[in-house]
Structure 1
Amino acid sequence: MSPEPHIVELDPDTKTTLKMYLYKNVQNVEAIRNNIIKGVWSCAVIKPSLILDPFQVAVAANRAVVAEKLNTMVTRTVFAEILYNLSLTKNITQSLSKFGIEKDENLLVCFLVTAERDLSSEILPLIEGEPCPITELNNFTSIKDVKSAYKLNSFKSDDGLLDVVVSRMVTKNFVSY
Structure 2
Amino acid sequence: MAVFQLDTHPGRSLQLLLFTDVLNTKELLLSMQMGSLHPEVAFFNASMVPDIFPILAAAHKTLLAQSQGNMLTRTLHSELIYNYSGSKHITESLRRCGITDNTQYVLAARFDCSEEELKAVRQLLQGAEVNLQGLEKRGDKTQIQKHYKITNPELEISSLGEAITCRIATRDAS
| TM-score of the aligned structures, taking structure 1 as reference length | 0.87
8 Å contact 1:14–1:66 — kept in the other structure?
A: no
Out of 4, 9, 18, the position equivalent to 2:5 is 9
Name whichever of 120-129 and 72-81 sits farther off: 120-129
> What is the distance in 1 between the residues matched to 2:80 and 2:173?
18
8 Å contact 1:11–1:66 — kept in the other structure?
A: no
The root-mean-square deviation of aligned C-alpha atoms, in Å, is 1.9
Output aligned runs, 1:16-165, within 5 Å.
Answer: 16-41=12-37, 42-102=40-100, 103-113=102-112, 119-155=117-153, 157=155, 160-161=158-159, 162-165=161-164
> What is the distance in 1 between the residues matched to 2:116 and 2:146?
34
> What is the distance in 2 between the residues matched to 1:11 and 1:72?
20
For each residue in 1:109-133, what CA deviation from the matched residue of structure 2 results, as whole angstroms up to 9, or x when unmatched? 0011167x96222221231101100
> What is the distance in 1 between the residues matched to 2:74 and 2:156?
34
> What is the distance in 2 between the residues matched to 1:127 and 1:46?
12
List gaps (5 residues or longer) in structure 1: none
The structure that is helix-richer by fraction is 2
Partner AA of 1:69 in structure 2: S
> What is the distance in 1 between the residues matched to 2:104 and 2:57?
24
> What is the distance in 1 between the residues matched to 2:126 and 2:26?
11
8 Å contact 1:85–1:169 — kept in the other structure?
A: yes
8 Å contact 1:44–1:83 — kept in the other structure?
A: yes
4+ runs deviating over 4 angstroms: none
List gaps (5 residues or longer) in structure 2: none
Aligned residues: 170
For each residue in 1:77-117, what CA deviation from the matched residue of structure 2 results, as whole angstroms up to 9, or x when unmatched? 111111111122211111111111002111000011167x9
